[in-house]
Structures are given as structure tokens and as C-alpha cells.
Structure 1
């Protein structure tokens, strides 16, 4: 059954669109300042001439139980904060439920549009939350920004679930960007509850306040989550005076529409969308939007507060040092130090929290070079002038915390030209931070899908980069001890150095292959469009999961298309599905770009397509190993460089490569490596610095 989209007609849509000069600068004394339990503070108001502008109008409505509640348009208002410039409202929950009587999935999908209003969804306080046992839901902004993201939630049975844990088993969450004034929710038809409806009939998705959510296992087999607030959940919305774009412009406005009316107030630029905010000056509190609204705090009270704060800081500093020491021990710091002392020549640095804070200028936003599900990456300068990429990791489970020191020891010894070098780590924080070498020329994703048309990248260059990435993954699978499974292979995690050589990145601190073949991971993680379907079903991560994801990379190289198109029809969204259908019909023409069909040999195209097909086999046991992929790509590269030469498929790949070994792994005496040197068409100007998600 087609999804029925319900459009929410609220003041955040139409009535707020009127962003003209306010009718009055100060509210009338007769204006109502309370509705039910909610205090209505100016610039908000109830009634004519009581708010700053129509966008801040509040209606006080009587409900069936004779209780008064405030609304902005059709959305219930929970509270207003002048200090934080936020409001909390109730947002509708989108549902996707199986109806056993009809045998169809019933959908209620909500959208919310506040882009032409004073409001933007808070990227700090909210997360897109998805609940279900076989669910893939998407959140997207309007065409104006083109933002799209998704969140996968799976589980086999209720015993897999843990109260309070929202890590992909029964529940998942993802962040949103700044500036969102519109969002739309949809569910992927490939994931539904038709086969598990007796255990879990419904899936849910909603943008909601992160602090207001605590996952309960009862949300899976009951409708409790949707019933708690009658199908709604709280969401935090930032507001600002958006008549002017900056404080300077607003102050110069000669029409008398500057909003910071208190003489003891100051103007601040909005951090979420255009416009400005008003706050009381330091030492004052109250309402900065009305004359004389900010009142001074007494000197005696300030002295008392400062004294209490000083004592509190001393106590907290002592507690902080104790916590840091505990974190260091918990993450295996003592084990790491003992091994560093016993093994000479181990090039690995344990940084203090203070060192990395200084290296990133206190994690300044301008230093951010990448964000993703595994953490946020900052560019930093350590040891005077050494550029590094510092990753503040997302939360990890207790098992990973205990093994962190030992795993860092193993990862620190990887030395391969196609793998980003781990320089060091910081263990005295709750979630350990990793320090990698800095790679300057962006990612393979940018090289293939970037909008800069001036960069003319030859197909042989892309094939060479894919080959190098395969060599790096093969090294992790075959020569690390124990083997390392990447777990999130994608073009955005293949970095390009100053010579546009591939560097596999973001393989994490806890992706060591399980010693027990029956061991299962605690959550399904990865990136939509690259996820191994077998991994999605079994929750068992293997090296063949990386092979499937690499098959999607080969498709990107071959077709120039992104792995997932959320704006198209559901049947055409997946690049891998479209490719496999084309291969089955023996007709690749619709998905191949013209420059590939016109310039590359049919044998090369067929060979690369066949390799990708093998990688994308639904059964992992039928997929090739990364070693076999490396060998085949070596053969295909010779076809790209010298298409007039017929090659023997069984030719030794090592004979095709020039130069000496440039990689080694220094555990248990294992040593391996490759080196290639070719003349290719590379961009003349380096791309802007970027680091993998």
C-alpha cells in the first residue's frame, strides 16, 4: 500500500511566514501572560498586539478535559526559554505497521515545514530516532539544502534488546545538521514487519529531544512508545529574531524594530540559521526584549555564588583527576605502557587530554574536518608543527573499553602505504580519542561525486585508487594478527594523500575479527547503501562484509553514481540493486556513463562488472577474498593501461607491479607489501582538506 503522507498545517508553516515589522515594540499590560502551566514571555504573546510579530503568536485553547494549553498554529507548546532561545513542542511520530487482516503495511508519515519562520530544529538537543526490529527510516530536508540521512534498527528477538541502549538493536539515533527548518520522514519498503508482526508489529520514526528519550524493550512488542503522548514526542526548536541577518544591521535599523529593548541587554548572532538573539548583560537577569526587563544581581549574592563556585571547582578538579586516572586504567593504559617499555622501537604516543585540547584550539568548530556515526574528526597540530587528525569517538561498549589498550597496541604497529597511520591515542577521557596522520586531498567519494567539474579524473586513476584501497583492506584481512575487519568500507573512508594515493581510514579501534566464529556483534553498524545484507540478517561481521561494501565502491567507480538515491522511487534507490538487475538482463548501458562506454574496452568493463557482481553476492561464502580482488584489479588495470595486450588471467599479479615493498606489519614477523608507479591524469590543484567520517 502506498504511504499516506500527512502534512501538518501549523503556525510554523503559514502564519509564521509573515516576517514583517511588528505592530508594536512593547506588549500591552493587558496581554495574557499565562496559559495553563506555561508562562508566555515576550516576544511571544497571546492576542492582538501582544507578540513581537505574527511568527510569535500563541493561542490558548481549551481541551476536552477543560484544561488550557498553548499552541503555535496546530502544534502544542510545552515551554519557552528566553535564556536558551528555544521552545519545546510536541512533534508527531511517524508509524509503519503491519495489518494482518489486510496483509499490508499501513503508513503514517509526517512532515514539518518551518523554513519561512523564526524557527529552526535544534541540532544540539534533537536526534532522529527510529524504533523497530526490521526498520530503515529516512529523514530529509527540503530541496533547498538537499540533506538526507537514514537510520537502521534491527533485532532477532526480544532477548537481544537492552533497556536504555539505543545502539542499533531495536533502536537507533542519528544527528541532524544546523539550519533545518523542514523535515520529512519516510520508511524503506525493503524493511518491514510483515514476517515478525507477532513479535514486533510496528516501527516508529520521529525527530525528538534526545534527553526526553530512554529506550524501553516494551516499545518493540507494544504500542507504548506511540501511545505515551498520543502519538507525539517533544522536540526542541531554536528561535531568533530573523527580520535582520546580524546585530549590526538590526541596530542600524531606523524603523524602530531592534528587539533588544532593555538598556542592560546585548545582541548575539543566532547559531542556528540567520538572525539574532537578545540576552541580559553579565550581572543581570530577566527579559531583554522589553524596556527595563533586565535587573541587576545583588553584590552580596554574587560574592556568595563566587565563593560557592570556587569551592565547587576545587572539589570537581579533584574528582576529575580521579576520573581521568580511572578512565586510563579502564582503557588499558597500564597494559599499553608496559608493552611500550618492553618493545623497543614502538612508534606510538599516548597524549594527554590537555595536549589534544590545545592542538585543536579547544575543539573549535573551524577545526572540524569530518563527522559521522563513529565520531567527529578535528585537524590538530602536535609536537610543534605535525599535522594530525584527531577523532573523538562515539560511545563504545564495556567489552571494547576493556580491550582498548591492547587493540591500540596492535593498530599502532600497522605500517602499510594504503592504510592511514595511527599516531597515538588519549586514554584519560570517557571515550578514548585516536590520533591519525593527516591526509590532505579529500576522499574518493569527493573525487567521484564532487561538483568541481574542472577536475578531469581519468578512469585509470580511479581504477588505480580502488586497487590501492583493496591492497590496504587485504593487508588488514590477511596479514594483521589477529585479522582486522573494517566494518564501514565506503568511498568516503578512502582518503587521498598529496600524490592521490589511496589511504584506507576509519577502520576503528574495535574491529578485530572475533576469535569465536559464533560470536555476534552487539549492533549493526555501517553506512546505508554499503551494508552487507547477510550481516543485516545475522549480525555476524566477517571479512566478506567488507568485500560486499567494496563491491559497491567498484560500482561507484564504474558508473559514477552514488550508492543510494533517497529522492528517487523506492525501486530505483539502490545502486547495487539496479546494477544486479542490469547484469541479469545483460544490459549495462543504462547505468554506464558515456565516457566509460566510449573510451574503455569492453573487456575491461565486463571484467570490472563481473568482479563487482561477485562481491555483491547475497551469500558471503560465494564472494571473493580481498586477495583475489587485488589480483583481478591488477589484471584489469593492465587492460586499462595497455588495452592492446591480451593478458593471461592466471598471470602472477606481483609481476604487474613496479618498485619495492613499501609496507610492513611488525607482529609475529609478518611482512608484506606492494608498490605501483604510473603516469596518470591527476588534478593540478589539491582539493580542500577533509577527513573520513
Structure 2
């Protein structure tokens, strides 16, 4: 992952710097609204200032030319204020009515519809930030008596008219742009992390589903390995042996024959099938199928020549790998490891 630049105490991530406009584009959190004990306001929050590590003397102030205040919710209005020791000054306000869930569904299906292209007060509202400052206050007001509406809302300051879905490396799944934000989701039928390449995968299939889709018969594997002859062994360890074989389709494969016999470990073995059957990454050996006819299941992988990575790194190969290449290998491994730990939740 490339290094990232932050302002203040790390609340604002720098996304771009323009010397021509003397501006810095940043991404920051929503305005943290705290429920108020006052009868006049439902919640009160702050944006920027010393709480974010920004000095009152600058040099960074929010641009009134490029930014807007956005409220997403229902039966609410928002006031944006400049903090003052005497009396806080209201600089803009807007209100939102109707059902936000209905609007969200419409905007997911028709994100370019006129009603979704701008927050006009139906489900959300947006108004310019009229005065540039380092810090602001926000006051949320309930316009309906229903106590439930207060639980589902967000308040934030956003750059005007930016379609984040068109920016590179923002979303590798299904992206829907909404005013001030964007929704990045994995396509229907998949799950995982849509913010990284190949981060969306199909959900785990059951063992039965996997067997039906990837089953390879024991007879086929016995023919491929000459009844698992010792001359076909590629290596092994305490957990099992790997054989080289040639299937009837003339595909050269590696067959993992585990020594495990405990039911719990067999379940873990099948879980490996469930995980690897969903993986599709250039740096992960592809699982071609499995055999469930034996006491312990067999896994069939694509055959990779030149021994194992372990052998290469331990200088058992004819030529030692240079440290520059070793570091490159580590970087290449981080991609599939990230997908495994964050998208598939494998252990």
C-alpha cells in the first residue's frame, strides 16, 4: 500500500494538491453529532478545529467556494454555525423530509435520476458553506415528533459535484455516486472488500455444492499417479504427501493427500476446499477439484514447477534469489493474504 498524507491529527487524508488553485483536497469523517439534552436541538456536533489538530490561525481553512453542507435523513433540519464566544453565528440551514430508505433504493437502481442527482430536501438536503473557516458547529433539529427518525441520519461537509465513482482506485465493485458520498458494494451474489482489486468473491459454498462442481473420482486420481506410486511424490511433511499426476485431460496436477484422520481436522480440510474454490488470484495456486471417496479427502491443484517458494528462499535452489526479488515476492503475497483475511475470513 502506498504511503498516505494526512493533515492535523490524522482526521483528514490528503487526496490531491493543486498549486494553481492553492487548495488541498481531503477526505474526512462525518460530523460527529452528539445527542443534546436541550429541548431546542436534537443533536450538536463540530467539524474541524483544534479537535482535529487544525490551528485557528491556519494555514488551512475550509473553502466556501468548493464545499457544501449535506444532511441525509428524514424529518430533520440542520444549522451550520461559526463558533463565537458570545453568540454562534448561523451561516446556512436546510431541511430533509420523506423516507430515506425509499430514496436510497431509487438511487441504487437509478443513480442518475433527477431526484438522486441533487439533494433537494427529499431524503436529504445540501446547501453551500457560506463562509470559509477552520471549524464549524452543527445543530440538528427535529421537524417531526416520531422519535425513530433521529436514529438514521448523517451530517457531513462535502466537495461539490464530485463523482467519486469516476476516480481511480476508489471502488472495484458496484459504485453508486450520491451527493457528497458514494456507495461501493460488492456485486450481487458476492461479498468481501470492494475497495481492493479482486476483493469481491462468491460466498462460501457448502461441501455438497463443492463436491458437485469440483468432484474428481478416486479412479481418475489413481490412474493419474499410478496408484500413488512413490516415484510420483513431489514432497510431504507431517500433515501429508503431495503427488504429481496427469489427468485424462492431459492436465498436469499436484494431488494433496493428507494424513489427518480426526473429524475436526477433516472439517478443516474441507473448509480449505470451500475457501480455495472461491479464490481467483494470480499469486495463489488454483484448486482444480477434490475427491471425497477416500477416508481423508484429496485436493487437486494446478501443478507449479520449480519446487516450492520455501525451497527457493532457503537457498536450496541452484541459484539464490536476490534480496530485491525477495522483497518483490513479499509485496506480491500481500494481495492474496489481504483477500484471504478480510474478504474470506479464513483462519
Question: Normalised by the size of structure 2, how large is the TM-score?
Answer: 0.37
Bigger fraction of residues in helix: 1
Question: Normalised by the size of structure 1, how large is the TM-score?
Answer: 0.19
Bigger fraction of residues in strand: 2
**Higher relative contact order, structure no. (Cα contacts within 8 Å, ≥ 6 residues apart):** 2
